[in-house]
Structure 1
Amino acid sequence: MVTVTKSSEETERPASAVRVSIVDDHESVRLGLKAACIEAGFAVIATAASVPALVAEMAGKECDVVVLDLSLGDGESVTENVKGVQAIGAAVLIHSIADRVALVREALAAGAAGVIPKSSSTKTVMAAVETVAHGEVLNNLEWATAIDADSDFAKAQLGRREREILHLYASGFPLKLAAQQLGIGYSTAREYLDRIRTKYVEVGRPAPTKVDLLRRAVEDGILPGLDPDGIDGR
C-alpha cells in the first residue's frame, strides 16, 4: 500500500521557503529527509513511495524540487520518473547510491538538475536541495563521474568559434552581445548557434532552449555549474 503524507508546514511556511517533496520507497529515508528539510526551514509538501503516487497527491499544488530515489522498484523507468516529476513543474534532485552510474546518467539525460549521493551529509543534501530549488544546475563530482564513466555519452564536436559562442550565450549573454564580444555579426552568431543545436541533436543530446544549452555546456566542460536565473530560454 502506497503511503503519501503531507506536512502542516505547507500552510505555515514563509512565502520564501523552499517547497520540497520526497520520493523514496524506504519509509525511513522519507522520514529522515522530511525531518532534515523541516529543520532546514523548507516546506515539505508531500512524501511518497512512487512518482505516480506523488503526482496524484500534488494535483493543484506547487513544489520547487522533488528529491527522487533512482531505484523505486515500481516498474517505472528512471526517465519516466524524472519526466513525471517535471510534469508537475518541479525540478528533480536525484538522491541515490553513488555507484549506480548508468542510472544517474539516464536521469541527467532526462533532465534531472543534479545528483547527490545517499552517503552525503545532511548539510550537503540540504544545500543541494536549495541549489536545485533556485533553478541552478548542481555540477558536482557525481555528475562528472556519471558522464565520464558512460561509454555511450557522446560529446558534440564543436569548433572553436562554436565553443566560444556557446560559452558566452549559455553564460547568460544575449546573442547580439555575444556576437559583439567575438567581433562577428549577429547573423553569423545565429548560424553558429543553429549549428551547435544541430550537432547536439546528432549525438542524441538535443538542446532546444537556452537552459538546455547551459546543461550541455556544463556536461561538456565548456562551463562550470552556473546559476541560470535570468536566462530567457530563447
Structure 2
Amino acid sequence: MTRVALIDDHESVRLGVEAACAGDGGLDVVFSGSTVSEYVRWRRSTQAAPVDVVVLDLTLGDGTTVTENVARLVADGSSILVHSVADRPSAVRESLVAGAIGVVSKSSPIDDVISAIRSVADGEPLHNVEWASAVDGDRDFADAQLSARERDVLRLYAAGLPLKIVADSLGIAYSTAKENITRVRTKYVEVGRPARTKLELLRRAIEDGLVESEGADARG
C-alpha cells in the first residue's frame, strides 16, 4: 500500500480525494489535515514513518509560504504532489524549485489526481499541462543555457544509457562526457532546478523537451 497524507485547508477537497484513494485499493490515506504543522505533530505523536506521498494544497490559510511548506515536507522524507487550482505559475514554479515532484490541478478529473499520486509514489516524472505551464511561464526557469554538446550528452544519459555508451555514441572521450554531465548539473542548480541524481536529470531533460516522458528509463 502507498501511504498518503492530504494537507489542504478545504475539508471537502480532502474528503473527496480520500474517498477516491479508498476506492483505488492501493492508496492508504493515513493523515488528513489543514496545515503542514498538523502533519508534523501527527508524525511525532504517532512515531509514524514519513508517508510516501503528501498531496499538498499550494496555498494554505495559516500564513505559511509555498517554499517553507514544501521544503519542510521534503526534509521530513516525503515526496510532494502539489494539488492546486494552479492559476499562479510563479507559485507552482516556487514549489518545484523547493522540491515538489509535480503538480496536478484541482480542476482535473479525480482519476487524473489518483494517477498523479501513483506516479509520484513510483518515482516517475510527472509532466502534465500544469507543469508545462509553470515552466513555459519563466524562460529563466526553463533554460539552463546548455551547449549543444551538453544537450546531446544529457539526452542520451537521461534516456538511460551508461555514460561510457554515451561517450562512444557521440565519439568523445569518457572523461569529456563526464565533464559535460558535471557542467549540466551545475547549470541546472544555478537556475534553481535540482539535478543531483540521474532521476532529477531525467526530469530536467523532460521539462526541456530533450527526452520524451514515455519510455524514458532513469536506471543505470
Whether the aligned pair in 2 keeps the contact of 1:96 and 1:116 (CA below 8 Å) is yes
Whether the aligned pair in 2 keeps the contact of 1:135 and 1:227 (CA below 8 Å) is no
Q: Counterpart in 2 of 1:109?
A: 97
Specify whether residues 152 and 74 from structure 1 end up closer, same or farther in structure 2 by C-alpha distance, changes over 3 A only.
farther
How far residue 92 of structure 1 moved from its aligned partner, in angstroms, is: 0.8
The 5 Å alignment of 1:171-210 reads: 171-210=159-198
Q: Aligned match of 1:58 in 36, 40, 43?
A: 43
Report which of the two has the higher share of helix.
Answer: 2
1:69 aligned partner, one-letter code:
D
How far residue 142 of structure 1 moved from its aligned partner, in angstroms, is: 0.8
Q: Counterpart in 2 of 1:78?
A: 66
Q: Which residues of structure 2 form unaligned runs of 5+?
A: none
Alpha-carbon distance between aligned partners in 2 of 1:92 and 1:229, rounded to the nearest angstrom:
21
1:127 equivalent in alignment to 2:115: yes
Per-residue CA deviations over 1:13-34 (Å, capped at 9, x if unaligned) read: xxxx221110001111111111
Alpha-carbon distance between aligned partners in 2 of 1:127 and 1:65, rounded to the nearest angstrom:
12
Indicate the larger mover: 115-124 or 218-227. 218-227
Alpha-carbon distance between aligned partners in 2 of 1:178 and 1:125, rounded to the nearest angstrom:
36
Indicate the larger mover: 141-150 or 51-60. 51-60
Per-residue CA deviations over 1:18-77 (Å, capped at 9, x if unaligned) read: 211100011111111111111111111111111121122124324111111001022221
Specify whether residues 204 and 124 from structure 1 end up closer, same or farther in structure 2 by C-alpha distance, changes over 3 A only.
closer
TM-score (norm 1): 0.84
Indicate the larger mover: 190-199 or 29-38. 190-199
Specify whether residues 107 and 166 from structure 1 end up closer, same or farther in structure 2 by C-alpha distance, changes over 3 A only.
same
The 5 Å alignment of 1:127-166 reads: 127-150=115-138, 152-153=140-141, 155-166=143-154
Specify whether residues 152 and 73 from structure 1 end up closer, same or farther in structure 2 by C-alpha distance, changes over 3 A only.
farther
1:214 equivalent in alignment to 2:205: no
TM-score (norm 2): 0.89
How far residue 170 of structure 1 moved from its aligned partner, in angstroms, is: 1.6
Indicate the larger mover: 137-146 or 163-172. 163-172
2:107 aligned partner, one-letter code:
S
Alpha-carbon distance between aligned partners in 1 of 2:219 and 2:176, rounded to the nearest angstrom:
21
Specify whether residues 25 and 218 from structure 1 end up closer, same or farther in structure 2 by C-alpha distance, changes over 3 A only.
same
Alpha-carbon distance between aligned partners in 2 of 1:64 and 1:201, rounded to the nearest angstrom:
25
Indicate the larger mover: 100-109 or 54-63. 54-63
Alpha-carbon distance between aligned partners in 2 of 1:151 and 1:191, rounded to the nearest angstrom:
25
Q: Counterpart in 1 of 2:32?
A: 47
Q: Aligned match of 2:80 in 85, 92, 95?
A: 92
Per-residue CA deviations over 1:114-133 (Å, capped at 9, x if unaligned) read: 11110111111111111111
Alpha-carbon distance between aligned partners in 2 of 1:170 and 1:47, rounded to the nearest angstrom:
36
1:160 aligned partner, one-letter code:
A
CA RMSD, aligned part only? 2.0
**Length, aligned pairs only:** 216
Specify whether residues 23 and 153 from structure 1 end up closer, same or farther in structure 2 by C-alpha distance, changes over 3 A only.
same
2:43 aligned partner, one-letter code:
M
1:54 aligned partner, one-letter code:
Y
Q: Secondary structure at the match of 1:223?
A: coil
Q: Which residues of structure 1 form unaligned runs of 5+?
A: 1-16
